């Protein structure tokens, strides 16, 4: 046991260690909440000055971390947000929670991880624990992060400690907060793993130590690939059963009565969120580097990415049946968020749906009780749009209402009664078909 390790162990046990979180988004803020609730003082780092200023003012930009909570953190002196990365030497723990998107070629883009690592390397001091939480492919911690941190001149496992612990978030699910989800932890070495487990044990319900960062990295990829593949299965089944005039939602409801051997997954207009649309492609990229093909995973990706095209086709057919062209038709997309009851629009298929419909000449609007203003997206260029209230007058003025996300706050009975045509990708209008014209997509 080195002196640096001994000092960090004592600080973690006494909860006097200061926890630093790099990346104050949908992963970083809930993680801060878990550590602050456990009694740790924290400091948050982000390159986006607007986010830092909002947090300093006690304002939140994430629904499930309300501003009142941030105000409390600031008032109690438990949290300090900053964009000054020179201060990375101040915390005893640095948790990296930055985005890991894909390039246009669907290869991993680790630029945010690498820039964070370079900033850490400049400030790294003995006695610090660094843990990567961003979702990535097996080998990132050892092959990407470690060589950059080596520029500090410090030795891992002796001077500083390195681990990987994948973020696990389920936005909008009140039953599973960051503190309530078991945490997988893989240390670069035995001591790093022990100290990382000691850290997370203080803040989360359960810690699952594994033998290496690669195991922890692969664990996260497996979790999300499992979901992507099963969603692709029900999406493909939806297309087939729709052709046969069989209700896929009723089929799933019947199947999930089996108490073993089946877990219900549900179809939709495409994948959304930061993890599921992206993580399987990390695995296929890694497989190509190993000279292998992950045909099963790639097929699932093809099915899921084809769903917006399928949905738009259903809209075109439904309008055609009403003797209306898409060009000039007034179409309102319900839901910009990628899943119901959240404000997270990352990778939401709604943007692809709107982009395709706009290219066909539709007059677009949207409604989302959780997303008041359409956020800017790197891959899409929309004019400024704001959520339109679903008044009876507005609904009657439409040619089509397209349900892309089934938020609970929407009155679907009123929607079906007043909108001339409803295209439903989420099964939100089941049982309401007799009240108006509903097309399942």
Known catalytic residue: 275? yes
Listed residue (185, 157, 138) closest to 149, CA to CA: 157
- Residues near 357 by beta carbon (within 8 Å), at least 6 away in sequence: 312, 315, 326, 331, 333, 364
**Residue 389 gets which letter from DSSP?**
P
DSSP annotation string for 155-220:
PBTTTBEEEE------TT-TT--GGGS-EEEEESSHHHHHHHHHHHHTTSS-EEEES-HHHHHHHH
- The alpha-carbon radius of gyration of the chain (Å, integer) is 24
d(CA 240, CA 320): 22
d(CA 385, CA 403): 17
Strands 400-403 and 330-334: parallel
* Of 97, 197, 219, 275, catalytic: 275
User: Which residue in this structure is represented by tokens 């790197």?
Assistant: 378
3-state secondary structure of 232: helix
d(CA 311, CA 268): 9
DSSP annotation string for 343-388:
---TT-HHHHHHHHHHHTT-EEEEE-TT-SBPPPBTTB-----BPP
Structure tokens at 215: 């195991």
Task: Report whether 334 contacts 367 (CB < 8 A).
Answer: yes
d(CA 164, CA 141): 7
Task: Report whether 413 contacts 428 (CB < 8 A).
Answer: no
Task: Report whether 191 contacts 241 (CB < 8 A).
Answer: no
Task: Report whether 180 contacts 24 (CB < 8 A).
Answer: no
Catalytic residues: 275
């Amino acid at each position: 046991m080195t002196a640096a390790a001994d000092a960090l162990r004592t600080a973690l046990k006494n909860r006097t260690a200061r926890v630093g979180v790099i990346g104050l988004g949908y992963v970083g803020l809930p993680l801060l909440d878990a550590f602050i609730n456990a009694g740790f003082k924290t400091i948050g780092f982000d390159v986006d000055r607007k986010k830092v200023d909002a947090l300093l003012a006690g304002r939140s930009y994430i629904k499930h971390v309300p501003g009142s909570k941030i105000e409390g953190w600031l008032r109690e002196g438990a949290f300090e947000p900053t964009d000054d990365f020179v201060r990375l030497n101040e915390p005893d723990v640095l948790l990296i929670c930055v985005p890991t998107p894909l390039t246009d070629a669907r290869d991993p883009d680790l630029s945010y991880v690498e820039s964070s690592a370079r900033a850490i390397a400049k400030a790294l001091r003995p006695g610090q624990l660094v843990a990567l939480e961003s979702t990535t492919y097996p080998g990132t911690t050892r092959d990407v992060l470690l060589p950059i941190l080596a520029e500090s001149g410090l030795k891992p496992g002796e001077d500083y400690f390195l681990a990987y612990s994948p973020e696990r978030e389920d936005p909008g699910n009140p039953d599973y907060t960051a503190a309530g989800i078991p945490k997988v932890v893989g240390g670069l070495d035995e001591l790093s793993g022990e100290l990382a487990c000691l850290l997370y044990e203080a803040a989360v319900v359960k810690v699952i130590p594994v033998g290496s960062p690669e195991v922890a990295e692969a664990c996260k990829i497996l979790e999300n690939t499992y979901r992507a593949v099963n969603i692709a299965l029900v999406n493909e089944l939806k297309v087939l059963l729709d052709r046969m005039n069989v209700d896929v939602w009723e089929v799933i409801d019947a199947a999930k009565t089996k108490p073993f051997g089946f877990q219900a997954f549900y179809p939709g207009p495409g994948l959304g969120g930061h993890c599921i649309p992206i993580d399987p492609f990390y695995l296929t990229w890694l497989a190509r580097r190993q000279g292998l093909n992950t045909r099963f995973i790639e097929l699932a990706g093809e099915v899921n990415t084809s769903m917006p095209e399928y949905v738009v086709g259903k809209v075109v057919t439904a309008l055609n049946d009403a003797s209306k062209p898409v060009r000039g038709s007034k179409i309102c997309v319900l839901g910009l968020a990628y899943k119901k009851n959240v404000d997270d629009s990352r990778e939401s298929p709604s943007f692809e749906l709107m982009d395709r419909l706009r290219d066909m000449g539709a007059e677009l609007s949207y409604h989302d009780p959780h997303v008041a203003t359409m956020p800017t997206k790197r891959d899409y260029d929309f004019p400024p749009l704001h959520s339109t209230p679903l008044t009876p007058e507005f609904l009657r003025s439409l040619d089509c209402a397209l349900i892309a996300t089934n938020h609970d706050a929407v009155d679907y009975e009123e929607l079906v009664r007043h909108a001339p045509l409803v295209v439903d990708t989420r099964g939100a209008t089941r049982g309401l078909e007799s009240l108006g014209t509903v097309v399942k997509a």
